[in-house]
Structure 1
Amino acid sequence: MSLDGRKIAVTGAAGSLGSTVVRAALAAGATVAAIDQADLHGGATPGLHEFGGVDLASSDAADKAFAAIGTKLGGLDAVVNVAGTFRWETLEGGSLATWDLLYHVNLRTAVATCKAALPLLLASKAGRIVNIGAAGAVKAGTGMGAYAASKAGVAKLTEALAEELKDRGITVNAILPTIIDTPANRKDMPDADFSRWVRPEQVAATIVFLLSDQAQAITGAALPIAGRV
C-alpha cells in the first residue's frame, strides 16, 4: 500500500507498536510526525519529525503540538492514535485510580488528539483517523474491567466521529487487537505461546491499509486482529 505524499501523525511513537507503525508508514512513503510523552531520539531519519514531551491528555498541549506539526509538515492527512497503557486489576482488589489512569491515557488522549488534529484533517483531501482499540472491549475478562471500559470508549468515539465526519471526507476506523507480541507482554506472560499472538508488524500493515486510498470506502469500522488467541 502506498502512502506517497501523505503526512501522518502517530501518537505513542516511543512504544513497541507506535515505533513499528512509524517505520511502516515511512516505508510506505509517508512523512511522519512521531509524538510521545517521552523524549524521542530517533536521529536523522528522512521523512521523520519527532515531537517528544507532549502530554496529549492536555487539550492545550495537544493543540500546541498539532499547530507545530501543521507548520512543520505543511499540513496533515492522517492521525493514528496508538498512545495507551494496560493494567490487570480486579475490581475487588483494585483502585479507582486505575480506572482514572486508563481513561486518561487510553481514551482522553485519543479525544484530545482528534480534536486538535481536526482542523488540519479537514483541509486534507484524504483525511484519515485510525484508533487502537482492543478485543477486550468487546468481551472483557477477569481483571480487565478498567482497560476494557477505556477501550470501549475508544470504540464508541470511533463510531460517533465516523458519523460526524462521513460527509466531510474523513474516514475514522479502529482496530481491535488481542495480545500483541511485545517485549513487555513476553515479560509479563513468559509461559505463553508467543507464536499465537499478533505481531506489531501485522497491526501496522492493517493500519497502513486503512490510511491508504484503497480503504476510502471504509469508515466507522472496528476490525479485529486476533492472531490465534
Structure 2
Amino acid sequence: MFDVWRRRRAIQRIKPGDGRALKRFRWWQTLSRSLFYLPADSGAGRPVVYAVDVNQLKGNENGDTEAHLYRDGRRFERARLPAVFPIEGGAIEVMMSAFGLRRCHFVADDGTEQQLRPDPRSAEGRRARLDRERPGLSRGIGLISLVLIVVPLILGLPQTVESISRFPPLAERFGVFDSPFDASAWVNIALAISATVGSTERALRLKYNRWLDTVAD
C-alpha cells in the first residue's frame, strides 16, 4: 500500500511516546475512536502486545490526526497519519479515509499482511463480532452498504460532469453535457447521506476500494 518514498516519509514522522498508559475503550467513544491490537514476539522469546489507538476527532498540536502505538500498554510511539511503525518482523501500517480507518495492518518482511484485531467494545469490534456470529446477516449488510454507495455514484456522476462541462473554456470547446438525471437539492442531499452511511459501514470493516471509496471520499 505504501510506495518506498511514502513509506520513508511516514517513518520519518514518527515521534517517541511518553510511556502513558493505554486508556480503556469507553462506550461513548464508539464513533470517534479506533483501537486495534497485535500480539507479537519481542525477538527475545518474550511475547509483547502492540495496540494502535486513533482518536478521529482529536488532533495534535497542528490539528493533524495521529496514530498512537502502544507496547505492552504503554505509549511507545506516535505519528501523523498515514503512519508506518516498524516493529519486530515487519511494520504496522495505518491509513484513514473520510469515514474512518481504511487500513490497520501488520505487513511482515516477507510481504504477508494481517489485519490487527479491533477492541471488542469499539465499533469495528462490534462489526467484526456480527460477522463471526451472524455471517449471513453480515453479508447482507455489506451488500446494502455497497448499494448505498453505487446508486448515488451512478446518479451523481452525470450531474457532476454536467457542472464541470459548464466551465466556459470547456463549454466553448466541447459543448455542455446534459445529464440524464436532474435531481432536486433534497434528492442530492439524500444521495449524499446514503453514500456516507454506506462508506461508514465499509470503514468499520476496513474495506477500501481505490475506485469506489475514493469517489465516496
Shorter-chain-normalised TM-score: which range? under 0.3
**Greater helix share, 1 or 2?**
1
> Whose Rg is larger?
2
Greater RCO, CA 8 A, separation 6+: 1
**Greater strand share, 1 or 2?**
2
TM-score (norm 2): 0.23
TM-score (norm 1): 0.22
